[in-house]
A and B are shown apart, each in its own frame.
Chain A
């Protein structure tokens, strides 16, 4: 059973502004309503050295969920363009971990490596596009984080998580298509993110709390 959440966020550019920390704040304010112990790792702590020394030991008890909001690529999570967690490190040091992330593309290689090593990966397997317009941001933040609410509030099984998150995406897709501005373009970005959302792992027929 998960008793600790480690929430990492890193905003390293002016393009997405505070998107990743907005996501982290959204999740943390929810997690504070649960019994979970929360550890936050933010911008200036977000580097591979801090991760190795401070974060990895917290993950060794198999009672933690690692939640990461940052840029990413197929094989790693990035801070300032530099990997702070790569699949090789994760496989060597963390067994049976649960990783939840909104980073793009990490499901492609990193997530599969976690799956093979006995862990669980929840995130995106391709690039995800976000509108700059803050009026649309909340739809993306909420969809990115919905899985956390489902896992800890609804206590749904991992095997059902993808479908539960899809429902939230669909709700926002339909809302955007209905608006008088015909925001089908933004809805198409959400549709794409929805279909790139994956839950990977061997043992998914379980709740995590």
Chain B
């Protein structure tokens, strides 16, 4: 499976924090990305949508910066496939909570949570992506010998390499959504035909 990238967007956490150390140890230093400004974090996410990622996002940022709500909202305009764990020192108001739910926040965790609790929450988010259809397709595509070679051609003349397809799925283009929907339809089809044991 492709590496998971953990993106932490928080203006208060130094890269020497025990949480960062722990995550680097568990997932590899190169897969941990810490951003102290919300825009930089958002830019990284939007520039790397084809990666498999999980986000730990603070809500409050200085008044000159986008807050966590805006970051999540802007991310969701592009993809719903990246789980975002909301991490905040403050209690959410009811409206904030509803807003996060609307934008498919994965979960909420208080900033005074222990390193172990945060890692556990991130692990749950990572596991949630493992059971997604897009990941299943990605895993299948990853097995292809040369991922840049054309592997799928339509009779109307379009063609895609495995890498093209992974990208289409990750950034949730119409074609990507179509492929994911196709797998769901296949699953339903197998169930209805009594082939669930296949």
Measured CB to CB, the residues of A under 8 A from B are 13, 15-16, 71-73, 81, 102-105, 124, 127-133, 170, 173-174, 177-178, 181-185, 187-189, 191-192, 195
Closest to B189 in A: A191
Would you give the shortest CB distance from A16 to chain B, in whole angstroms?
Answer: 5
**Within residues 169 to 198 of chain B, which ones have a CB less than 8 A from any CB in chain A?**
179, 182-183, 185-186, 189-190, 193, 195, 198
Q: Are A129's CB and B189's CB within 8 A?
A: no
Q: Which residue of A lies closest to B188 (CB)?
A: A191
Q: Does B152 contact A (CB under 8 A)?
A: yes
A129 to B159, CA, bound (A): 9
Residue of B nearest to A195 (CB): B185
B114 within 8 A of A: no
**Which one, B137, B141, B155, B190, contacts A127 given CB within 8 A?**
B155
Docked pose: A15 CA to B193 CA in angstroms: 34
CA distance A30 to B50 in the complex (A): 46
Q: Are A15 and B183 in contact (CB under 8 A)?
A: no
- Smallest CB gap from B185: residue in A: A191
B155 touches A130 (CB 8 A): yes
B151 close to chain A: CB less than 8 A: yes
Asked if A15 contacts B159 (CB within 8 A), the reply is yes
Chain B residues touching A, range: 20 to 34
Closest to A182 in B: B140
The A interface, classified by DSSP as helix, strand, loop or mixed, is mixed
Chain A residues contacting B152 (CB-CB under 8 Å) are 129-132, 189
Query: How far, in angstroms, from A181 to B143 measured CA to CA in the complex?
Result: 9
Contact A185 B140 (CB under 8 A): yes
Contact present for B154 and A128 (CB under 8 Å)? yes
Residue of B149, B179, B190 touching A177 (CB-CB under 8 A)? B190
Q: Chain A contacts of B183 at CB under 8 A?
A: 184-185, 188
- Which 9 A-B pairs give the minimum distances between C-beta atoms? A104-B155, A188-B182, A188-B186, A177-B198, A15-B153, A191-B186, A129-B154, A185-B140, A128-B155
Q: Which residues of B contact A81 (CB under 8 A)?
A: 157
Query: Which residue of chain B is the closest to A17 with respect to CB atoms?
Result: B153
Q: Chain A contacts of B155 at CB under 8 A?
A: 16, 71-72, 102-105, 124, 127-130
